[in-house]
Amino acid sequence: MKKIILFFVIAINLLQAQGIKIKGSDTVLALSQEEAEAYNKKSKANVSVTGGGTGVGLAALVDGTTDIAAASRRIKLEEKMKLQEAGKKFKEVVIARDALSVIVHPSNKVSQLTREQLEGIFTGKITNWKEVGGEDLKIVVYSRETSSGTYEFFKEIVLLRKNFSSSVLAMPATGAIVQSVSQTKGAIGYIGIAYLEKTIKPIKVSFNQGKTYVEPSVKTAKAGTYPILRPLYYYYLAKDESKVKPFIDFILSAQGQALAVQGGYISAK
């Protein structure tokens, strides 16, 4: 059974044109496509990009069906070990960064929260807005699905790896969170800052027990004062370095990074 699948995978791969293949995170997908398009035009190369998710991309890297795995989270230890078992050395490069903003309904009086308060809200210990200085209104927590890199990152940085409360509403996409928060009065959620709109209100956060609150913006993220900032990664095998390096160099060049900033991401450095 597995052999038959393997055979088809190999056959499909042989049919594809030789070029750089990128597979992985849907968060990084838009950026990869922009970069690949510009690079293909510039140096007549053939870079092809597909999504599927971070886990899918890294699994493809282990199987050797992609040259670059795009990831919106760091490689997990078990994935690292799988690569090691397969005897493959890999390299990691940060191609851009993405800031996450905590958002609420525009009518909400609360405009700043500490990390501890956010932890309380997302783990279900704080359930009413009046506990954090707002009106007497139940908090409706919107989160992403457990499979999303955004979810993992928010869990690690804001909840310090604790689990989200079971009663949070898990939405399939960032767009759905924006839509739901904009139409639910007691809502709170988190999204990439590229998705900020007028229909929702971003919250200032404090990661030092309330001494200073920082608003989410490209400026504060770049200055390093905004704390909820995640790197976006490319993973590739060390033996493929000569093949993929020119493309990665292009992304990290001034032109490539400008494209990232245009797309609402934060530059890699």
**Interface with another protein (CB under 8 A):** 1, 25-26, 52-56, 58-59, 76-79, 81, 84, 123, 137-138, 140, 145-149, 152, 161-163, 166-172, 176, 179-180, 183-187
Are residues 229 and 59 in contact, defined by beta-carbon separation less than 8 angstroms? no
Query: Whole-number minimum distance, CB 174 to another protein, in Å?
Result: 13
Which of residues 59 and 259 has its CB atom nearest to another protein in the complex? 59
Please give the Cα distance from 186 to 199 (Å, whole number). 14
Are residues 110 and 188 in contact, defined by beta-carbon separation less than 8 angstroms? no
Query: Whole-number minimum distance, CB 243 to another protein, in Å?
Result: 24
Which of residues 82 and 222 has its CB atom nearest to another protein in the complex? 82
Query: Whole-number minimum distance, CB 148 to another protein, in Å?
Result: 6
Q: Which residues does residue 188 pair with via DSSP β-bridges, in sequence order? A: 104, 141
Query: Whole-number minimum distance, CB 84 to another protein, in Å?
Result: 6
Which of residues 164 and 250 has its CB atom nearest to another protein in the complex? 164
Which of residues 5 and 254 has its CB atom nearest to another protein in the complex? 5
Query: Whole-number minimum distance, CB 257 to another protein, in Å?
Result: 26
Which of residues 147 and 208 has its CB atom nearest to another protein in the complex? 147
Query: Whole-number minimum distance, CB 59 to another protein, in Å?
Result: 4
Which of residues 71 and 252 has its CB atom nearest to another protein in the complex? 71
Q: Are strands 47-50 and 229-237 parallel, antiparallel or unpaired?
A: unpaired
